Amino acid sequence: MSQKTFKENIPPRIKAVDFFCSGGGMSCGMQKSGIEVIAGIDFDISCKETYEANIKGAQFIHADVFNLKEKELEKKLGIKKNDDNLLLIGCSPCQFWSIINTTREKSSKSKDLLKEFKRFVEYFNPGYVVVENVPGVLRRKQESGLDDFIEWLQSNGYKVHANIHEVSNYGVPQHRKRFTLIANRVTNDELIPQAKEGKKMTVRDVLGVHNNFPKILHGYKDNTDRLHTVAGLHELNLTRLSITPHNGGDRMAYVFNKKLAPPCHYGKVDGFKDIYGRMWWDRPSPTITTKFFSISNGRFAHPEEDRAISLREGAVLQSFPVTYKFKGKSIANIARMIGNAVPPKYAESIGSAILQNHK
């Protein structure tokens, strides 16, 4: 085979633009799958340093998608309309559609982000489109604009996969259900994230001394890139945790103790038990939220140490590489980037499905 013929048989590389990129979870996974990420767009400037430190070769665009114009992006990135090799990704912030309590007024703007992303898809008509969000966006698909978006995609020649997936089926050591849309107009095939076969990853597979996470006390600050930093505990919470059984224990350990049980939990043996609870070693972790550094916000206590999980432990449970560099001014700021992220290994499975189709 001649060199010219060989080159002709190599499919052109897919280039991706990651809208609402945050700290780069989706971009990281897409890069690992072999897709070239050329840009990440986000309104939150605090994500810029983290994104640029890890997503090499991609441009960070600080912009509010409500004000960003299609032609402006076209000129800035040199991308073209009707390009089969272009992938547009829209993982918009999802507070409005989340089942987790949040201030609706504060998050109301996020409910229209999918509609804004649709503008760019209509303008560029790319070969592929990916949308990832909380399951709530599917349950209220008319209000979220998802119905109109899918209808437009299908009427313009896209084969659309739109379903809820459990990320622990894709090599992520965490229970997390996510709505995922993959639209493909390059072939007539429905593209589905490629699940991992065999045993699911668990907390034990990534945390613990055997995974180079030395034992630390609450309030420990790690000034290296390892970022094995953990929030401090008030004395009452430390006492609660000290009597909580290892490996999955919860507030039932002190539910009838008036001094230790929160007033709203005293004597109540049913209902939500994850708050102040410990993770299990041999199960995937619970969903890593933006508040995973606080034991009062979920089952975020270490399986056996008297502390919440560290920032780096939260990141590896999200399937970020241990070498991923997080840049932020506070524990809360970094935890927000980690908790909001698309788990990179799940993103990689989406990218792999797209690449397999493109070949």
**Which class for 197: exposed (0-12), middle (13-18), buried (19 or more C-beta within 10 A)?**
exposed
What does the alpha-carbon distance between residue 213 and residue 88 come to, in Å, rounded to a whole number? 37
Q: Cβ contacts of residue 268 below 8 Å, gap of 6+?
A: 255
Q: What does the domain layout of the chain look like in residue ranges?
A: 14-196+344-358
> Cβ of 103: how many Cβ atoms within 10 Å?
8
Per DSSP, which regions of 22-114 are E strands? Answer: 36-42, 59-62, 86-90
Q: Cβ contacts of residue 199 below 8 Å, gap of 6+?
A: none
pLDDT in tens, the chain (359 residues): 445 554 456 667 999 999 999 999 999 999 999 999 999 999 999 999 999 999 999 999 999 999 999 999 999 999 999 999 999 999 887 544 344 444 445 444 555 788 899 999 999 999 999 999 988 766 655 566 788 999 999 999 999 999 999 999 999 999 999 999 999 999 999 999 989 989 999 999 999 999 999 999 999 999 999 999 999 999 999 999 999 999 999 999 999 999 998 888 887 878 777 889 999 999 999 999 999 999 999 999 999 999 999 999 999 999 999 999 999 999 999 999 999 999 999 999 999 999 999 98
Q: Which of 169, 137, 121, 125 is nearest to 284 (CA)?
A: 169
What is the pLDDT at residue 110?
Answer: 53
Residue 281 near residue 303 (C-beta atoms within 8 A): yes
Q: Which of 231, 223, 252 is nearest to 309 (CA)?
A: 231
What does the alpha-carbon distance between residue 160 and residue 150 come to, in Å, rounded to a whole number? 7
Residue 319 near residue 173 (C-beta atoms within 8 A): yes
Q: Which of 122, 114, 120 is nearest to 138 (CA)?
A: 114
Q: Which CATH number fits domain 14-196+344-358: 1.10.3370.10, 2.60.40.10, 3.40.50.300, 3.40.50.150?
A: 3.40.50.150
Tokens 């990141």, residue?
Answer: 315
pTM for this predicted structure? 0.91
Q: Which of 176, 179, 139, 186 is nearest to 163 (CA)?
A: 179
